[in-house]
Structure 1
Amino acid sequence: MLPSTESASPSYQQSKNPQDLFLVCGLKSLGQHCVAILKEYDAKVSAIEDVQPEHWEVPEVPNLLEKLIIGDCRQPSVLEQVGICQYLSILLVTRNERINIYCKNKSTTLLCFCKLFLFSSL
């Protein structure tokens, strides 16, 4: 099991509006840029990444995240740890399309009713 890193602001934990809560699964290049763009719109963004990134293409990303979970986004315990069901939008941007599809299916089996899933492995 990989360790987790969490930093949640009080406003994040008390948010009652799921429309501004985004989860990004995968923090390679595309995921980092998605986080930066979403934050420009004052969205609350959390992320799951399988390993702690050693290099940040967008250096400010660690400070932009409400919560960063280090773990495998295919594992139900990791999805539950991040609070997957509170997100209205989930961006599945790992480098593996099979993982993206698996995570989408897993979140629906956890009875999460997300409205938007973005898939990309680029």
Structure 2
Amino acid sequence: MPAIKRLVRHEATPGGIVKLRAAADRHPVYARATSISVENRFDEAYKAIMQCAMAALWAKGHRPATSEPGHHQLVIRILSKTLAVDGDVVIVLDARRKQRKLNGCSGDTASDATLAECKVQAESLIRRGREMGLGT
């Protein structure tokens, strides 16, 4: 892993990674539930992205420093290192992060198109994690 001051060494247990991955696997199911609002469905898809990304980081022996702000941004931006995610995808995922923050701070809602993109990205990350043996 590159030396990023906001990362600290973390020895996750295999069970901890499996549990985090299992949580990530559940969220796309909730994101498809049309009985809840678009913003809640968007949050569920985003949670899957973050949990999968965090599990990948843990598997590499790191976690974000809790004393530093920007945990979500950091975990997403290093997906190119933790899950070999293409840089263009990282940009899209970072845009979803910004949208989630905007939704929470301003009361804005995600569009149906943004929700759809977030679900696709969440499911893609989960597949990628499985392909790389993350949490298995």
> Could you tell me the TM-score, scaled by structure 1's length?
0.29
The higher-RCO structure (CA 8 Å, 6+ apart) is 2
Larger radius of gyration: 2
Structure number having the greater strand percentage: 1
Structure number having the greater helix percentage: 2
